[in-house]
Amino acid sequence: MTAYERDDRTMRERMLAGDPYIADDPDLGEATFVAHDLMGAYNATGPREKPLRRRLLEELLGAIGEDTEIRPPLYVDYGSQLRIGARSFVNFGLMALDVAAITIGDDVQIGPNVQLLTPTHPVEPGPRRDKWEAAQPITIGDNVWLGGGVIVCPGVSIGADTVVGAGSVVTKDLPAGVVAVGNPARVIRKL
């Protein structure tokens, strides 16, 4: 049996296990609809609606810490796989494709239009045409700063206190306490 064959598990069980799954499965589609309804309601709120925003985020996300602010618009696949720690700030336009877990620590600063991308797709044309995909988790440590337009690729971990410069593409793990820039992001100095 190949990774791209069905077994006794649901597509959601396969997805959560990190195994290939069919992306347009009806049950996964329903979970996306629920998340997108909450996301749409959140994105329609104004800055004076903080209690409503908080309630919507608590319902949408897997976890959100105290005193964390996320400026709309926010884009997610499911929301339930996204966890953000306390006292973090997320500027406009975060795209968090949370097919796998995305864990963001405390005191994190995320610039505008950052993309956190967990999905992966087969290189082979047949499974890709058949809508198979998989995902790898992303972990962002405490006190990280992601500059505007940063893209974090599937499976990446970024260590605590690290700064990633605007427009960088993070394709591999970054250690704690460094500054990294570029495409692909490279460490240019220690902090």
Which residues form the catalytic set? 121
Structure tokens at 136: 């790898």
- d(CA 69, CA 33) in angstroms, rounded, equals 24
Contact 111, 75 (CB under 8 A): no
Structure tokens at 97: 């494709």
Q: Smallest Cα–Cα separation from 111: which of 136, 126, 91, 138?
A: 91
Q: Smallest Cα–Cα separation from 114: which of 66, 72, 167, 68?
A: 167
What sign for the dihedral angle of Cα 156, 151, 75, 4?
negative
Q: Smallest Cα–Cα separation from 133: which of 2, 1, 4?
A: 4
